[in-house]
Amino acid sequence: MNESPILVPILGDQLTRTLPSLRGRTKDDTIILMMEVWDEATYVKHHKQKIVLIFSAMRHFAAELEDAGWSVDYVKLTDDDNAGSFTGEVARAVERHSPRAIHVTEAGEWRVQQAIEEWPDKFDCDVEILDDDRFVCALSEFNEWAEGRKTLRMENFYREMRKKTGLLMTDDGKPEGGDWNYDSENRKPPKEGLDVPPRPLFEPDDITQECIALVEEKFSDHFGSIDNFGWPVTREQAEKAADAFFAERIEKFGPYQDAMVHGSDDLFHSMLSTSINLGLLDPLELCERAEQSHKDGKAPINSVEGFIRQLIGWREYVRGFYWRFMPGLAEDNALEATRPLPEFYWTGETDMRCLSDSIRSTHDNAHAHHIQRLMVLGNFALIAGIEPKPVQDWYLAVYADAYEWVELPNVAAMVLYADGGKLATKPYAASGNYINKMSNYCSGCKYSVSKKTGEGACPFNALYWHFMDRHRDRLEKNPRIGRIYSNWDRMGEDRQAEYLESAEAFLDGLEPAQDGWAREKS
C-alpha cells in the first residue's frame, strides 16, 4: 500500500462495483471505508428488516470487495469508539490512514450531502465529491429540462428519457407500438383466482443472521417483523430475483399494476426496488431486459412500457424533483394539514380492511405495493388531513426501499399535495369506490362501501367529500377536478351536512400515534 492512500467512503446505498468513486482507482492505492453508524440507523426508526437489509448488503459487499483484493476498512455498529456518524467515522479513518485525498460519490439524501460538503473544511486532505452517475438523467440535465417550464409533468420528462435511451423507440424516432403510454390498459381489476407465482425469498445466511441478531438486540423497539426476511442482499441474489420477475411475472405486470388483493402482497410487481436503490441492480439494464422480453414475444407492450416508465420516468423524475425542491419540499404543507398521524398506521388496528391489510404487509414485509402506498395509505392521509411531517417520517421508516430522495417526492408531492401541485396536476383523492373497483378488500370489510354516510358507511366516502369541501377554494379552479363540485352542489345542504358530520365524527374518533415511533432526531 502506498504510504498515503486515497480514502473512498462507500455509503449504504452505494453498493455498486462501478461506483464513480471506485472507477479508475487501483487496489494498492485505495482504502475503502464502510460504516455502520447509529445516526443513519436511527434518523427515523427504520423497520427492522430495512436495517437488516442494509447492514447485511453492506457486509456482503465489503466481503466481495475484499475477495477481489481491495482493502476495506469496515466499521461495525458495535465497534468500540464508533463515532456514530459518517463525518465522525471519516474523521477517525483519516486519523488511521492519513489519506492524501478522500473520493466520495455524492449522497442520495440532502441531509447526508450537507454533511459531506463540510468535509473539505474539516479534513486536512483533498476531498473530491463525484456525481452519482447510476441514474439515466444527471441532476444538471434535469434542471436544464425543468428550467423555465411552467409545469414539470412527469410524462413530458419521460418522453425525453425514452428518446435519450432509445428504449421502446422505433428507428424513425417514434414510440414503439404508436403510443408513448399504455396506462389505460393497465387498470385491470383483480379477477377471482388470480394465479401469482411467488417471488424468490433468500434464506438468511450467517451474515444476515448476525444482522438479525444485532437488530433484535439494538432495535427491538423499531416497527416491523423480522420473521419473513428474504430480501436479496447480494448482486447475485438480486439478479436471481430479476430473472424470476422476467420469467414469471412481467407478462401480467402491466394489466394488474393497480390491482390489490387481500393477503397477496406482491402480485405481479417486480419487488426489485430494494435491490435497485441499494445499487445492486442497474435500472437501465432492467429496462433493456424488459424491452427484450417484448421483442421475444414474452410480454405485451403495455407491461413493458409500464415497467420502463416506472424506472426511467418516475424514478428518475422524482430524484430530479427532490434535488430541485429540497430543502423546502420537506417542510411544504400547501393544504395546511395539521391532524396527527393515527396510531393505526403503526398497529394496523383498524376495521378498514384495505388499510389494515396494507399495514399488515408493511409490518410483515417492509413493503407494500405502489397502489396500496398511493391509493389506500396515502389517500387516507390526504383526505383525513394528516400533517405531512409524520406521514413522511412514517413512509421513510417502514419501507425497506425508502430513502428520502425517492420517498419524499412520492409522499409530500404525489400523495399529500403538500407542494401545492408542482408534481401532480391534482390531488389523488378518492372515495371507497376506487378501492372497491381495484381490489377485493371491500367484500370482507366491516364497513359498507356502498353506504355513504352514517353508521357502518365506508369512511373513505365521507372523508372524500369533507376533503373536497374544505379545499374548495383551491380545487374548484383546477380544471382536472373542479367539475366535481357540481355533483356536490346538486346534493343539497342536508345531504352535504350528513357527509360532513359523518366525516367529522370519524375524524374525532381517530386515536393519535403514541410518541416513540416518530423521528428521534430532526
Residues that bind ligand FAD (CB under 6 A): 269-273, 276-277, 307, 310-311, 314-315, 318, 369-370, 373-374, 378, 395, 399, 401-402, 406-407, 410-411, 414-415
The residue among 112, 89, 84 whose CA lies nearest residue 14 is 112
**Cβ pair 167, 288 in contact under 8 A:** yes
Which of ligand SF4, ligand FAD, ligand DLZ, none binds 310 (CB below 5-8 Å, type-dependent)?
ligand FAD
Which of ligand FAD, ligand SF4, ligand DLZ, none binds 259 (CB below 5-8 Å, type-dependent)?
none
Which grid coordinates are listed for 54? 442494509
Distance CA 105, CA 93 (A): 17
Distance CA 31, CA 77 (A): 19
Reduce the DSSP state of residue 123 to 3 states and report it. coil
Could you tell me which stretch among 103-111, 212-220, 424-432, 484-492 binds ligand DLZ (CB under 6 A)? 103-111
**Could you say which of 5, 8, 12, 471 contacts ligand DLZ (CB under 6 A)?**
12
Could you tell me which stretch among 10-18, 154-162, 237-245, 408-416 binds ligand DLZ (CB under 6 A)? 10-18
Nearer to ligand SF4, 123 or 380 (CB): 380
**Could you say which of 449, 462, 475, 518 contacts ligand SF4 (CB under 6 A)?**
449
Tell me, what DSSP letter sits at residue 183? G
Does the footprint of ligand SF4 cover residue 41 (CB under 6 A)?
no
Does the footprint of ligand SF4 cover residue 375 (CB under 6 A)?
no
Which of ligand FAD, ligand SF4, ligand DLZ, none binds 135 (CB below 5-8 Å, type-dependent)?
none
Distance CA 44, CA 222 (A): 9
**Cis check: omega of the bond before 327, within 30 degrees of 0:** yes
**Cβ pair 31, 12 in contact under 8 A:** no
169 forms bridges with which residues in the sheet?
175
Which of ligand FAD, ligand SF4, ligand DLZ, none binds 432 (CB below 5-8 Å, type-dependent)?
ligand SF4
Which of ligand SF4, ligand DLZ, ligand FAD, none binds 35 (CB below 5-8 Å, type-dependent)?
ligand DLZ
If phi > 0 it is left, if psi is from -120 to 50 it is alpha, else beta; for residue 490 that is alpha
Could you tell me which stretch among 31-39, 66-74, 203-211, 358-366 binds ligand DLZ (CB under 6 A)? 31-39
Does the footprint of ligand SF4 cover residue 354 (CB under 6 A)?
yes
Residue 270: phi, psi to the nearest 5? -75, -30
CB-count exposure of residue 151 (10 Å: 0-12, 13-18, 19+): exposed
**Cis check: omega of the bond before 342, within 30 degrees of 0:** no
Which grid coordinates are listed for 222? 423499531
Which of ligand FAD, ligand DLZ, ligand SF4, none binds 415 (CB below 5-8 Å, type-dependent)?
ligand FAD
Distance CA 32, CA 245 (A): 33
Which grid coordinates are listed for 21? 468513486
**Could you say which of 21, 40, 94, 352 contacts ligand DLZ (CB under 6 A)?**
40
Q: Please report, as ranges, the residues that interact with ligand SF4 according to CB under 6 A.
A: 352-354, 432, 435-436, 441-442, 445, 447, 449, 458-460
